[in-house]
């Protein structure tokens, strides 16, 4: 009898160990796929929402992100923040934007220094020029910097690009499928690519906002509303005169007739230099679609300086919503809107010609998932923003660039 009981216990232990192994595989493999491929995230998340419901998927996501954060805390517990490129000496006399009538404006953001005097990597807060791969001889219109905005996580960093709006135009483009339009919306051609006539002046492109089901945030393209605007949502606006604004819809709706495009996001993280009170409440779900604001994930944001002539685009790794917001504010953004989140969506891309003369994407920093033809020859399912150079009338934007 004793032998039978022992045999049954061993068999139960083996079955339990096998079940645990299978469960770990079913958790770890999807986690690795979601965090190391661009297709697995939407496949698993959207598929699971249909099977087990959105609320259960939210709990699973928060649980898995929490495990990853605890693992990172253990792995990197003694590490100091790290730079992601060689630091350069800052220019103490550089000014944000300087313009001379009749001459091309020079652009060089002033160094903002590290987010924390005691917790930073070499070069944090110093701006490094980003050359246009197709026009390397031209004065740079983009600069990049890195910050470490979370003193509790040395591996959490924020990559920020500063853009001169004196010399560039910001555009918004709907994806082929997202955001899904409201019923009855007039038909709009949705190619999910930069229009061919603007490709010669294309400077850069970056991700847009949430899917329609995650908040139903409004979007207008070419003067047509795909999704109606929500009253309390933060709104990134491109006016017919090419100026840009970031503000809560209620405060700008009177100027809707002058809006060429707009894209809405969750509530403004910063507006008129004031941080949203909700960012002081970690449990809030305003800036994660379904995840709470204290969830540690990759996030992206867009901001404007006080003059509204410098645009900031930020993409973070392993940050809370508040860390992202405070980092964007540190570089000079007085208005900040969060864009898309999670590993595979946020990205900032430049464009070069390959050996065949084809236009292909490249990243100004490692870590972004993208296709070589992203936003130009490969249609995007989700919306995005892109930047073009302002081209004086009667001139050719890039005579030797791929069409």
pLDDT at 95: 36
Burial of 207 (0-12, 13-18, 19+ CB in 10 A): buried
pLDDT at 202: 97
Identify which of 6, 94, 62 has the alpha carbon closest to the alpha carbon of residue 297: 62
Taking residues 28-48, report their average pLDDT: 53
Taking residues 91-103, report their average pLDDT: 36
Q: Kindly provide the residue ranges of all beta strands, DSSP E only, lying in 249-298, ordered along the sequence.
A: 259-265, 270-271, 274-275
pLDDT band for position 399 (cuts 50, 70, 90): low
Length of the chain: 403
Residue 355's contacts (CB-CB under 8 Å, 6 or more residues apart) are none
pLDDT at 90: 47
pLDDT at 365: 95
Read off the tokens for 34: 């979601």
pLDDT band for position 289 (cuts 50, 70, 90): very low
pLDDT > 70? residue 251:
yes
Percentage of the chain exceeding pLDDT 70: 70
pLDDT > 90? residue 145:
yes
What residue ranges do the domains of the chain occupy? Answer: 2-75, 97-389
pLDDT at 49: 53
pLDDT at 111: 96
Taking residues 35-46, report their average pLDDT: 54
d(CA 58, CA 332): 33
Lowest mean pLDDT among 47-56, 171-180, 211-220, 352-361: 47-56
pLDDT band for position 100 (cuts 50, 70, 90): very low
d(CA 244, CA 259): 10
pLDDT > 90? residue 11:
no
pLDDT at 155: 84
pLDDT at 77: 65
Taking residues 216-231, report their average pLDDT: 95
pLDDT at 60: 56
pLDDT > 50? residue 114:
yes
pLDDT at 296: 81
pTM of the model: 0.82
Taking residues 43-49, report their average pLDDT: 55
Taking residues 278-297, report their average pLDDT: 66
pLDDT band for position 67 (cuts 50, 70, 90): low
- The per-residue pLDDT for range 186-210, each reduced to its tens digit, is 888 899 999 999 999 999 999 999 9
pLDDT at 214: 87
Burial of 333 (0-12, 13-18, 19+ CB in 10 A): buried
pLDDT band for position 10 (cuts 50, 70, 90): low
Taking residues 122-136, report their average pLDDT: 96
pLDDT at 118: 86
d(CA 194, CA 202): 8
Helix (H) or strand (E) holding 237, with range, is strand 234-239
The rounded mean pLDDT for the chain is: 82
Helix (H) or strand (E) holding 42, with range, is helix 40-52
Question: Do 138 and 361 form a contact (C-beta atoms < 8 A)?
Answer: no
**Per-position DSSP letters for 160-171, written without gaps between them:** EEEEETTSEEEE
pLDDT at 184: 87
Phi-psi region of 318 (alpha: psi -120 to 50; beta: other; left: phi over 0): left
Distances (CA, A) of 197 to 200, 396, 400, 403: 7, 12, 15, 8
Read off the tokens for 148: 């470490």
Lowest mean pLDDT among 25-34, 43-52, 303-312, 328-337: 25-34
pLDDT band for position 282 (cuts 50, 70, 90): low
């Amino acid at each position: 009898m004793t032998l039978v009981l022992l045999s049954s216990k061993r068999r139960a232990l083996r079955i339990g160990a096998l079940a645990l192994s299978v469960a770990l595989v079913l958790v770890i493999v999807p986690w690795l796929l979601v965090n190391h491929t661009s297709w697995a995230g939407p496949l698993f998340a959207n598929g699971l929402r249909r099977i087990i419901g959105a609320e259960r998927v939210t709990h699973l996501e928060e649980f898995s992100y929490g495990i990853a954060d605890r693992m990172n805390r253990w792995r990197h517990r003694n590490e100091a923040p790290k730079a992601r490129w060689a630091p350069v000496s800052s220019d103490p006399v550089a000014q944000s934007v300087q313009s001379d009538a009749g001459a091309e404006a020079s652009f060089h953001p002033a160094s903002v220094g590290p987010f924390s005097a005691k917790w930073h990597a070499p070069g944090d807060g110093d701006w490094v020029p980003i050359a246009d791969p197709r026009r390397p001889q031209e004065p740079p219109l983009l600069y990049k910097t890195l910050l470490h905005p979370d003193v509790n996580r040395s591996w959490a960093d924020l990559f920020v690009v500063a853009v001169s709006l004196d010399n560039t135009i910001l555009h918004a483009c709907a994806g082929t499928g997202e955001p899904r339009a409201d019923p009855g919306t007039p038909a709009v051609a949705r190619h999910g690519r930069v229009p061919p006539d603007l490709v010669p002046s294309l400077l850069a492109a970056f991700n847009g906002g949430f899917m329609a089901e995650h908040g139903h945030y409004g979007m207008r393209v070419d003067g047509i509303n795909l999704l109606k605007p929500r009253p309390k949502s933060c709104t990134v606006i491109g006016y017919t005169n090419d100026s840009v604004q970031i503000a809560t819809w209620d405060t700008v709706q009177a100027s809707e007739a002058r809006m060429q495009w707009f894209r809405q996001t969750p509530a403004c993280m910063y507006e008129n230099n004031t941080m949203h009170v909700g960012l002081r409440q970690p449990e809030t779900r305003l800036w994660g679609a379904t995840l709470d604001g204290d969830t540690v994930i990759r996030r992206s944001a867009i901001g404007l300086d006080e003059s509204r002539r410098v645009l900031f685009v930020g993409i973070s790794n392993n940050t809370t919503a508040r860390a992202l917001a405070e980092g964007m504010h540190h570089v000079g953004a007085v208005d900040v809107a969060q864009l898309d989140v999670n590993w595979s969506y946020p990205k900032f891309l430049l464009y070069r010609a390959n050996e065949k003369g084809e236009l292909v994407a490249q990243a100004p920093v490692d870590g972004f998932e993208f296709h070589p033809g992203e936003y130009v020859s490969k249609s995007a399912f989700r919306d995005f923003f892109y930047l073009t150079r302002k081209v004086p009338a009667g001139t050719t934007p890039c005579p030797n660039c791929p069409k």
